[in-house]
Structure 1
Amino acid sequence: MIVDLHNHTPLCNHAEGKIDEYILEAVKAGTKVFGFADHAPMDFDPKYRMSFEEMSCYEADVLDAKKRYKDQIKILLGYEVDYLEGHMDKRVLNADVDYLIGSVHFIDEWGFDNPEFIGQYEHEDIDEIWKKYFLAIEKMAKTKLFDIVGHLDLIKVFKFMPNKDIVEIAKNALLAIKEADMTLEINVAGYRKPIGEAYPSKELLQAAFKLGIPITFCSDAHKPEQVNLYNDQVIKLARDVGYNECAYYENRERKFLKF
């Protein structure tokens, strides 16, 4: 990937490897811009994220790597922030970073993408779950607090698909993303999950393209060996839809590279 903006570190408590190992994999792959966007702290679900006390260490480590590798690759600093009403913190939202990824991992505080809680699906109406999920994405976009939308259709992770048209379900969320001038990531983590495809699906990406929503790429790597996996598939996906440039951010300002 020429740009790869969503990658993790062991500080999130569910990733492996050293920062340098991720960067060296990106350099080997020919990546021009590589970003760390580890799970930001919040007062909910602490098991799967860094603590507030670890923010300074995380930021210092990434900025140190940025200096050390400046002649080989551009390193960027970000956070993946969970949009969960009542649990977002100004220490994260006002952090001095290059970008913030806004993601939805919870529906009514249910971690729907966590295998630990997959049993909850048995008690839910799948169409209603999808509606609630994309309503949360819509609300997240309308805050205008974030630069990038994380894994747009993460709700499909375990292959519980709705009966209703997905583009119709996501329509208002996509309109809110466009209105907020956010970038949509094409995230390869879905290839490593039961759904077996990127986030978002081709049909949602086509809808985003029609609205003029820009894209970026990401490995969403939780291990160094996951960096740049499925590069060929996502580049082809983006080009087939009509995209030929991808975004990245420096100091919250969007820039583009052709691919």
Structure 2
Amino acid sequence: MIVDLHNHTKLCNHAEGEIDEYIEKAIKCGIKYFGFSEHAPMNFDQKYRIGFEQMKEYEESVLKAKEKYKEKIEIFLGYEVDYLKSYLDKRVLNADVDYLIGSVHFIEEWGFDNPEFIGNYENQDIDEIWEKYFNAIEEMAKSRLFDIVGHLDLIKIFKYMPKKDINQIAKNALLAIKEADMSIEINVAGFRKPVGEAYPSLSLLKEAKKLDIAITFASDAHKPEQVGLFSDKVIDMAKNAGYNECVIYRKRKKEFIKF
């Protein structure tokens, strides 16, 4: 993939490696447009994100790297923002960045993608869990605060699959994403998880294509060696769904790139 907009740094407390190491790996992989989107600060679940006092350090570090590597690769600055309505903060939402990724990692403050809390899946109806998740995605899209939807069907991470048709469960969320003119990322992190496939599934990606929802690509790397993994698989997947171009963002404005 030549575009890769979702990657992390060690500042989030659960990633490894230096910014330069991520970029050097991206260059080796032939990536031309590479973005950092650190877990944005919020006054909840602080263990897995940067603090508000670290925003300046993070932003300056990425911009310094952008200048350093400008002859070899284009570097972008973003944040991955958890959509938890009570914890959204204007310091993040108004940050001077290229894009904001809106992600849902919590259902009613339950961190459903954290192995520490996997037991909660046994306490609720699986269809209701999936419906609550996509209701949150729909609400996030309707907020019009973000540019990219992070890992659209992250709820499948531990392979607890619903009985109902997933495309139907996700239908209203996809319509809201289209209405908000957001893009969705094809995120390879799912290959590293129990579900063993990209986010979103090919089936959901085809539904997105029917609605002419734009796509971008994401390693979601938390280690330099994860940059660019499974590139061929996700490119083939995108083409299978009917895509031949993806998007990048400069200062919150969408641009299309052929791949």
When normalised by structure 1's length, the TM-score is 1.00
- Alpha-carbon distance in structure 1 between the residues aligned to 2:48 and 2:125: 27
2:203 counterpart residue number: 203
1:51 counterpart residue number: 51
1:173 CA displacement:
0.1
* Counterparts of residues 38-117 of structure 1 (less than 5 Å): 38-117=38-117
| Deviation by residue 1:115-137 (Cα, 9 ceiling, x = unmatched) | 01101111111000000000000
1:19 CA displacement:
0.2
1:246 counterpart residue number: 246
Letter of the 2:173 partner, please give it: A
1:256 CA displacement:
1.2
Letter of the 1:132 partner, please give it: K
Structure 1: segments with no counterpart, 5+ residues: none
Structure 2: segments with no counterpart, 5+ residues: none
1:150 counterpart residue number: 150
Q: Which ranges of 4 or more aligned residues in structure 1 deviate by more than 2 Å?
A: none
1:84 CA displacement:
0.4
- Alpha-carbon distance in structure 2 between the residues aligned to 1:191 and 1:30: 20
Letter of the 2:32 partner, please give it: K
SS at the partner of 2:72? coil
- Alpha-carbon distance in structure 2 between the residues aligned to 1:20 and 1:168: 42
1:225 counterpart residue number: 225
Alignment RMSD: 0.4
Q: How many residues were matched structurally?
A: 259
When normalised by structure 2's length, the TM-score is 1.00
* Counterparts of residues 169-188 of structure 1 (less than 5 Å): 169-188=169-188
- Alpha-carbon distance in structure 2 between the residues aligned to 1:240 and 1:167: 17
| Deviation by residue 1:174-198 (Cα, 9 ceiling, x = unmatched) | 0000000000100000000000000
1:35 CA displacement:
0.1
| Deviation by residue 1:143-179 (Cα, 9 ceiling, x = unmatched) | 0000000000000000000000000000000000000
- Alpha-carbon distance in structure 1 between the residues aligned to 2:164 and 2:101: 28
- Alpha-carbon distance in structure 1 between the residues aligned to 2:33 and 2:124: 41
2:214 counterpart residue number: 214
- Alpha-carbon distance in structure 2 between the residues aligned to 1:26 and 1:194: 25
- Alpha-carbon distance in structure 2 between the residues aligned to 1:30 and 1:214: 22
Letter of the 1:4 partner, please give it: D
SS at the partner of 1:86? helix
1:140 aligns with 2:140: yes
Letter of the 1:49 partner, please give it: R
- Alpha-carbon distance in structure 2 between the residues aligned to 1:39 and 1:11: 9
- Alpha-carbon distance in structure 2 between the residues aligned to 1:29 and 1:103: 26
SS at the partner of 1:6? coil
- Alpha-carbon distance in structure 1 between the residues aligned to 2:23 and 2:255: 21
Identity of paired residues, percent? 72
| Deviation by residue 1:43-101 (Cα, 9 ceiling, x = unmatched) | 10000000000000000000000000000000000000000011010000000000000
- Alpha-carbon distance in structure 1 between the residues aligned to 2:163 and 2:121: 15
- Alpha-carbon distance in structure 2 between the residues aligned to 1:183 and 1:60: 26
- Alpha-carbon distance in structure 1 between the residues aligned to 2:32 and 2:85: 35
- Alpha-carbon distance in structure 2 between the residues aligned to 1:200 and 1:122: 24
* Counterparts of residues 110-125 of structure 1 (less than 5 Å): 110-125=110-125
Which range moved further: 115-124 or 192-201?
A: 115-124
